[in-house]
A and B are shown apart, each in its own frame.
Chain A
Amino acid sequence: MAAPMLRGRCLGRCWALACIDSGSRHGRGAATGFTSSGKRGQSFVAQQPLLTAQKSRKGEHKWAAVVGLEIHAQIASNSKLFSGSQVHFAAPPNSLVSFFDASLPGTLPVLNRRCVEAAVMTGLALNCHINKKSLFDRKHYFYADLPAGYQITQQRLPIAVNGSLAYSVCVGKKWRQVITKTVRIKQIQLEQDSGKSLHDELRSQTLIDLNRAGVGLLEVVLEPDMSCGEEAATAVRELQLILQALGTSQANMAEGQLRVDANISVHHPGEPLGVRTEVKNLNSARFLARAIDYEIQRQINELENGCEILNETRSFDYKLGCTVPMRDKEGKQDYRFMPEPNLPPLLLYDTASLPAGADPQQVINIDRIREQLPELPSETREKLIQQYGILPEHSFALLNEVGLLEFFQNVIKETRAEPKKVTSWVLNIFLGFLKQRNLAVNESPVTPSVLAELLNLLDRKVISSAAAKQVFEELWRSKGKTPSQIVSERKLELMQDEEALERVCHAVMEGHPQVVMDMKRGNPRAINKLIGLVRKVTHNRADPTVIKEILEKQLSS
């Protein structure tokens, strides 16, 4: 999974380093110049970080990379875009195919209302202008998993245009500074998915499964406003979260519900854009950034060596970690677009233009869909920051894991502990345990109310935080026990008996005269050693602040 925030994971390469801190280094104001109004039609000039090829000396050859994306998101619907057959992943081959999906003669497309609504809702969430009239076209190409020989798409007049997608990257020393960047959305179009081909190279044949043929897709075209793999991956991750929040697509990359093609070129800043290549079928968030970064570096190397970049389609070989040219496209493809003769223009309405007496099943009201828009991830994060005073990067982390935000909110509801404490526990300890065991949030044996109870014990100073961690580990192992049960079983309560604690402190000081001497000589760290020793003797049952007070009192007496 891509982190929703850009972090300098690609620091190993010098151009990527330039990508991260180009704002400060080159004085172009990239680091601070971004604010996102998210408004439609906002003109956005891509910041193109300057990339330095590894071979260059003293920054002579600066390269800027330009990345644009085409993203296909499968619409979450019961039935397909133009037929009434079911949409379902991993069904028996060819079981979800109607005669239309197999393009048998005499069949005609019938548009699925749900798919249109999903496209409108996605367009609104991405600040697009919704075209009240849009058109369907045929895009022709020959491939065995496209039995009609053409795909119905929206080439001339798509359903939504001119939007924007804001995503955030973290910069600064501790990644504490969150910068919002914006990528323009050229258009969103409705189109059909193709079937699936299984290549059996041994027997030199292709097996065709048409279950996916005709499933509704949203093709989201992002303008080339990005400049490295991490930016692209972060933008895709944000789009994924938005689609999931809207429910318009499940956007699960592993199941192919979100697929990305990247257009990549490099050039010297101030000069015209370079020849671009297209890297197809980036179906994993992990490989998306890597493929783009590889392709940028490959193009720089080619140009530095005096070679030319060919306008070609490439694919990413994740085993080799490099992009390779695809062989089945020779030269420029002519898709022979033509208007789809079987589908009249798609008309949408708003409340003002809604025809009187129209059948509500047959008209789509853009204003109604706008009213139904759920809270978007950016709004959710903003709310978290406002409501609980947590750090922006924590708000990203909470949304990045399926179910984590809900878990966090349920804990908050039931505990008196500070939101900051809860955030720290959920993001560090709880999430750490999940990651270590490769579990999803809903697979956790620790429920929100159990964690809330544990944090209450901590908050009431019944146990120390070290003991709380012990209890947490125990909770993970022994399902069904409450934190209080574990605390009393293991005798982990904080020592409330101050006299007893004073005796322990005294004994420890007696036993370590050297440390006491150090402390008296003014070594400030020596007291920490004594605190640690006392805690060890008390099996983490004493509050370090109380120990410190007692030790200081005894030393000064």
Chain B
Amino acid sequence: MSVQASPTLFMAAAAAVAARSDVVTLKRVARLHVWTHYGGLGEKCGRVRCCWAIGPGWAGTGASPPRRILSGRVTAEVIEHLERLALVDFGSQEAVARLEKAIAFADRLRAVDTEGVEPMESVLEDRCLYLRSDNVVEGNCVEELLQNAHRVVEEYFVAPPGNISLPKQDEQQPFSHN
């Protein structure tokens, strides 16, 4: 399991900044939220998916103290917490270093002064939300869907039993390696 940079959401925000170059928008995008990219759970379903932590913003958005992550160094304690939440094994020093780089990448948003700027809900906030009529037009494609499955019993996907807590360091055998 590797930790990757280039989070799609951050790219979306950055693209919006590029498209709408006025200062207010830049600031509002910066106020979007603190996106903290910390790795993902992928192998189980055969693809890599990014997982995100979101902080409550900074000055003015709440009384929350700054996160431990913000220092640039990620402590072993934080890594363990994240591993437990995501049931993911960061595995090596290299992966942790990559995680720190990803955080530093996202942390650049903090350089923008957002004093007095209303937070942006979404880069699509001025778009209409399309409403679909309540008609059945999809589904009935179980054969195609199950082609994507690692294991199948009858017409069911097969997954490991329940959410298993991460094993202790000495007995570690994360299911993502199975």
Contact = CB atoms under 8 A, between A and B. Distances in A.
A492 interface: no
A306 interface: no
A207 B158 contact: yes
Interface string A322-337: 0000001010011011
Contacts of A197: 159, 162
A482 B124 CA distance: 68
Given A93-B154, A361-B133, 14 more contacts: A85-B139, A94-B155, A115-B134, A116-B131, A135-B121, A142-B41, A200-B161, A328-B163, A334-B53, A341-B9, A341-B12, A343-B124, A344-B126, A346-B129
Given A93-B155, A112-B134, A206 B41 contact: no
B163 A142 contact: yes
Contacts of B140: 95-96
A307 interface: no
Interface in B47-92: 47, 49, 51-54, 84-87
Interface in A322-364: 328, 330, 333-334, 336-347, 361-362, 364
A515 interface: no
B135 A84 contact: yes
A113 B158 CA distance: 33
Interface residues of A, number: 65
Interface stretch (A47-55, A102-110, A272-280): A102-110
8 contacts: A92-B142, A94-B142, A113-B131, A142-B41, A205-B161, A337-B54, A339-B33, A364-B131
Interface string A190-207: 000000011111001111
Interface of B: 9, 12, 32-33, 35, 41, 45, 47, 49, 51-54, 84-87, 121-142, 145-146, 148, 153-163, 165
B132 A208 contact: no
Nearest to B124: A344
Given A84-B132, A135-B121, A205 B165 contact: no
Interface of A: 77-79, 83-86, 92-102, 104-105, 110-116, 135, 140, 142-144, 147, 149, 197-201, 204-210, 328, 330, 333-334, 336-347, 361-362, 364
B139 A95 contact: yes
Query: Looking at A94, A104, A112, which has the most chain B CB atoms within 10 Å of its CB?
Result: A94
A520 B129 CA distance: 89
Contacts of B84: 330
A208 B161 contact: no
A423 B52 CA distance: 61
Contacts of B161: 199-201, 204-206
B139 A111 contact: no
B121 A95 contact: no
A338 B156 contact: no
B49 A149 contact: yes
Nearest to A340: B122
Contact of B135 (A79, A105, A347): A79
A104 to B, nearest CB: 7
